[in-house]
Amino acid sequence: MNIKEQLNEIKKQAKNCFNCPLSENRTNTVFSDGCEQAPVMFIGEAPGKNEDETGIPFIGRAGQLLRNYLKEIGFKENDIYIANTVKCRPPENRKPSKKEKEACEFFLKKQIEFVNPKIIVLVGSTALESFIDKKTTITKARGQVFEKEFAGKIRKFIPIFHPSYLLRQHSERDGSPRFLFKKDLINIKENFI
C-alpha cells in the first residue's frame, strides 16, 4: 500500500470510530486536508462548525485566515498537510478533553507516521499542550523548534498562534500577534520546504 492508500484506510477507521462521546453528534469526521507527502504538517485543536459540516479542517474564518497567510507567503498545496488533535467537533467548540484526545491519538500518530513531515506546526495552545508541555504557554513557545519522540522517531515541532486569536488582533505592526504569526510562517517556509 502507498501512503495515500494507508491514510485512506485510517480515514475509514476514523469515520467508523465511536471511542468517545464526540462521535455521537458529529456530522462528518474531519480527518485531513492537503498533500500526504507534505514537508509541513499543521495540527490544530479540533473541528469547528464549518469543519463538521464540510469534513475539511481549517475551513472556517480562522482557517481561511491561516490559508490566506500561507498563500501570501508562497506555500504551495503540496507543501502542507492539515489535521487536528481530534477528528470530531466538541460541543460549543470547547477544548477537547484529555480522554477525547487519547481516543483520537491512534489516528493522529498514523497520520504523522505516514506523512512523515520535516516539521509539525502546532497551531494554538491545545496542540502545544498535546505534544510539548502543559505548563508552557503559546506566547513563550511560539516560533521555537522543539524535538520530541513521537510516532516512532524524533520529530520537530514548532508552535504558532491559533488564527482564531488573530481574528481579534487586526494590527500587523512590528511585534503584534499577526506580525509574529507571519514571521513564524515565513521561518517555517524558509527552513523546512
Extents of the domains making up the chain: 3-192
Q: Is the pLDDT of residue 119 over 80?
A: yes
- Give the pTM: 0.95
Kind plus residue range of the DSSP H or E element containing 111: helix 98-115
pLDDT tens by residue, 156-171: 999 999 999 999 887 8
Grid coordinates of 159: 508552535
Residue 61 has pLDDT above 80, yes or no: yes
Instruction: Examine the pLDDT at 136 and tell me if it is beyond 90.
Output: no
C-alpha span between 84 and 43 (Å, rounded): 5
Distance CA 92, CA 34 (A): 26
- pLDDT at position 156: 97
Dig out the grid coordinates for 162 from the structure.
491559533
Taking only the tens place, the pLDDT of each residue in 181-190 is 999 999 999 9
Per-residue pLDDT for 56 more than 90? yes
Crossing angle of helices 61-73 and 177-192, in 10° steps, is 50
The CATH class that applies to domain 3-192 reads alpha beta
CA atoms within 13 A on the CB side of 54: 13
Is residue 122 within 8 A of residue 159, CB to CB? The reply is yes
Q: Mean pLDDT across the stretch 101-123?
A: 96
Q: What is the pLDDT of residue 182?
A: 96
